[in-house]
Amino acid sequence: MDEYSILANAVIYLTAAVVAVPISKHLGLGSVLGYLIGGVIIGPWGLGLIDNVESIIHFAEFGVVLLMFLIGLELHPKRLWELKRPILLLGGGQMILTSIAITAVGILLGLSLQTAVIVALALSLSSTAIALQSLTEKNLMATHAGGSAFSVLLFQDIAVIPILALITLLGVGDGIVDDGNTLFSVVKLVAVIAAIIIGGHYLTRPIFRIIANTKLREIFTAFALLLVIAIALLVESVGLSMAMGSFLAGVLLADSEFRHELEAEIEPFKGLLLGLFFIAVGMSIDIGLLLQQPFVVLGLVVSLVVIKLAILMLLAKREGIPASQQYLFSFMLCQGGEFAFVLFTLAISEGAIEPGLADLLVGVVALSMLITPLLLLFYDRYISRQHLHLDDHMATEEITQQEHAVMIVGFGRFGRVVGRLLHANGFPTTILDHDPEQIAEARRYGYEVFYGDSTRHDLLKAAGADKAELIIICLDGPEMSLQVIEQIQKHFPHLKILARAYGMGHAFEMRKLGVTLIERELLESGLALGETALKNLGYGAYQAKQAAHLFRRHDRSLFEKLYSADEKEKHVTIYREAREEIRQILEADEEEIKSKASNDWR
């Protein structure tokens, strides 16, 4: 492919995304469905603008690799260890039960046991890209259903390794595996994983510090991409999936001081490549095969989705996922997955499956992926409301008009503290949240909490935003909180906004939107703990409190300086200067503080 063709194709992909996705979002269909439809339109069975679909889909799969790396950054090793039960029970149970069911159906349809097993294992996998993109887009990763779906996907990524080996064994070759080669492969696998763990823990951080000191942002970005790509390729060379390797790398860097910077640098590439992947999936849908055998193709798609839905619903009930989220969990995982394309290609090369059958199944998987966003849309608009075992007032369109002066959006651990304080001082509040479990818990304690998507201005109005004076944003998701603020600024400009920020970066984004009353969630608790530490180190009570007060005042000044700095490279210098400045201030005030402190404060 020459340079002109590459650029021309890039224009086609970008145009498809820019046109199809906003329209899809505007119609309430979500971004994933927009990408898929855009791919169908420009693909071989649409306008025919792109022909070489296979090479594009393999390249775009790197978007899944970056996605898994970013998810790994959010999971500390301790948190990953806590997920071992759902990973093994939910993930293992889903794959075993689904494989058995599909194998039985395959044999009934006339497939040999060998072929039926291969088909079943490939179809038991779900789409990591679609499921995780939908979860993050809807801010559902923190829910029970989101965590359980992630556990299943993680197990599936791990299971790809033995499936690949099994397909090789079930091929038309002699099926004999050299014990020496097998042992050598196991040793290589263990060595690579050990190298990633040791290198990720001990080597990458010093390298990141050296690169950060160059103050060249593009070099930091280059090294971040180099790290992910190198680890992905290294892991793939020993039989693991690239997605699994990048996830492991992310977990190892989850407690790094560079985690947030890595997220910021990788996110744009992840978004573009995932979008390209969804477009490629849309292009791979064989409309000609669908027109030739519509009942066969659609029958197989429906059968696949129904079988997986039934098994997933059974597991969701067994795992204790709330009834309001069981369909969400099932809809997220009922499609075929992108790894099926890889497995079917390998099965053809090993002679384990006929090319015609593989082509048919690739179409079935792609169509099932196209159906998933529609099922999620159906869930959002109908099923979620019918299966919420909460008060009828929780449904978005049934929120009764409130006239309280204060609204709280988000009623998790942070929001409850604010709500309790206001309630104790006689200020009634209107409370909104989108997590059914949190709402049920709050209602058990007597709080009137309404369910709904607070990024929708019609819901905010129904809850009384046009009559309120003050709105307090206590949401768990940074992105969602920014979306809520945008809606308030646009439709309810009279409202005074108080907002919870996760850190300085999040607070900066809020300031850009015009919010000035911001509290960083860990600042006050950190100062309180620091004050206690000072008292235990010999400071008097007054001296410790005054030190915390001076630090708080200085931190606010530092925030303004950092916000005004137009280059990230200046931040390190400002931080260092500020650290020395606060030390000098505290030393200068030490004698005055001691003289003011009464005996009662000591």
> Highest mean pLDDT: which of 3-12, 135-144, 381-390, 513-522?
513-522
Cα(330)–Cα(326) distance, integer angstroms: 6
Cα(444)–Cα(451) distance, integer angstroms: 15
Residue 70 lies in a domain: no
Cα(253)–Cα(268) distance, integer angstroms: 19
Does residue 397 register a pLDDT over 70? no
Q: What is the pLDDT confidence band of residue 241, given thresholds at 50, 70 and 90?
A: low
Q: Collect all residues with Cβ–Cβ distance below 8 Å to 37 and sequence separation of at least 6.
A: 20, 24, 282
**Domain containing residue 27: CATH number:** 1.20.1530.20
494 plus 531 within the same structural domain? no
Of 521, 541, 570, which marks where a domain is finished? 521
Does residue 487 register a pLDDT over 70? yes
123 plus 161 within the same structural domain? yes
Q: What is the pLDDT confidence band of residue 396, given thresholds at 50, 70 and 90?
A: very low
Residue 281 lies in a domain: yes
Does residue 192 register a pLDDT over 70? yes
Residue 197 lies in a domain: no
430 plus 502 within the same structural domain? yes
Does residue 294 register a pLDDT over 70? yes
In this predicted structure, what is the pLDDT of residue 139? 65
Cα(190)–Cα(476) distance, integer angstroms: 38
Tokens of 505: 């970066």
Does residue 306 register a pLDDT over 90? yes
Helix axes 323-333, 128-137, angle to 10 degrees: 140
Token pair 């680890």 in the structure block, residue: 231
CB 498 within 8 A of CB 471: yes
Q: What is the pLDDT confidence band of residue 260, given thresholds at 50, 70 and 90?
A: low
Q: What is the pLDDT confidence band of residue 220, given thresholds at 50, 70 and 90?
A: confident
In this predicted structure, what is the pLDDT of residue 103? 92
Of the listed ranges 35-44, 47-56, 68-77, 379-388, the one predicted with least confidence: 379-388
| Domain containing residue 553 | 522-602
| DSSP tag of 396 | G
Strands, DSSP E only, in 232-273?
Answer: none
From its phi and psi, is residue 154 left (phi > 0), alpha (psi between -120 and 50) or beta? alpha
From its phi and psi, is residue 215 left (phi > 0), alpha (psi between -120 and 50) or beta? left
53 plus 103 within the same structural domain? yes
511 plus 592 within the same structural domain? no
In this predicted structure, what is the pLDDT of residue 75? 65
Phi, psi of 481 (to 5 degrees): -65, -40
Q: What is the pLDDT confidence band of residue 391, given thresholds at 50, 70 and 90?
A: very low
Number of domains observed in the structure of the chain: 3
Residue 360 vs residue 199, higher pLDDT = 360
362 plus 454 within the same structural domain? no
Residue 507 vs residue 100, higher pLDDT = 100
279 plus 421 within the same structural domain? no
pLDDT tens digits, residue range 72-95?
776 666 666 666 777 788 888 889
| DSSP tag of 350 | T
155 plus 273 within the same structural domain? yes
